[in-house]
Amino acid sequence: MKLYMVEFDDRDIPVIEEGIEIEAGDGRQAANLGADVGGQTLAMVPLLIPVVDVEVPEDRRLREAHVSIDEEGKLSFHQPRESDAAFVVLSAIQRSPDARTEVEPYGAGVECVANAFERPMDRQLLVVQPGARIRFRRFGRGGHYGRWFVVEWNGTELASRNDEPSEPA
């Protein structure tokens, strides 16, 4: 499975980066994707995805791995297996009414497996199948709406494009 970060921030265009940054500490390696609101206590729990039996490149960006999800919903990165899916971390700004992102409900082929945030960014961890897409835009006070964008996975490459719908006649 290929791994990607997609950031939609103040630049108002989606920025796609191949790979996820891996940090080393306490004798282990993990992706630190912010905080998750944990269970009934609503405690802020760091969302760390440990790297298990995978060699992390010198630049510290893991570009391919098998993403394991256990019965409790815990994620981990393992040796890559053949897969057409992509693991996408969609990081979208949610700072205030003046800078928020509207994400359309996910369609077929997109599964949200975890959520986190690192203010002002909300993060959705997605498993995306070939042919699936994610659509979003900026909105703010006074009915100000930005352009629609789509991020699409074709089984080989993750790409973004402007997706302005045509106006009904």
Phi, psi of 142 (to 5 degrees): 70, 20
pLDDT of residue 99: 72
DSSP-assigned beta bridge partners for residue 46:
35
In percent, how much of the chain has pLDDT > 90? Answer: 64
Work out the angle at residue 162's Cα, subtended by the Cα atoms of residues 160 and 167, and round it to the nearest 5 degrees. Answer: 145
pLDDT of residue 128: 98
- Which tokens hold the place of 5? 């970060």
pLDDT of residue 62: 97
What confidence tens digit (pLDDT) does each residue in 75-108 have?
999 999 999 999 999 999 887 666 789 899 999 9
pLDDT of residue 145: 83
Q: What is the pTM of this model?
A: 0.89
Residues of the chain with pLDDT under 50: 168-169
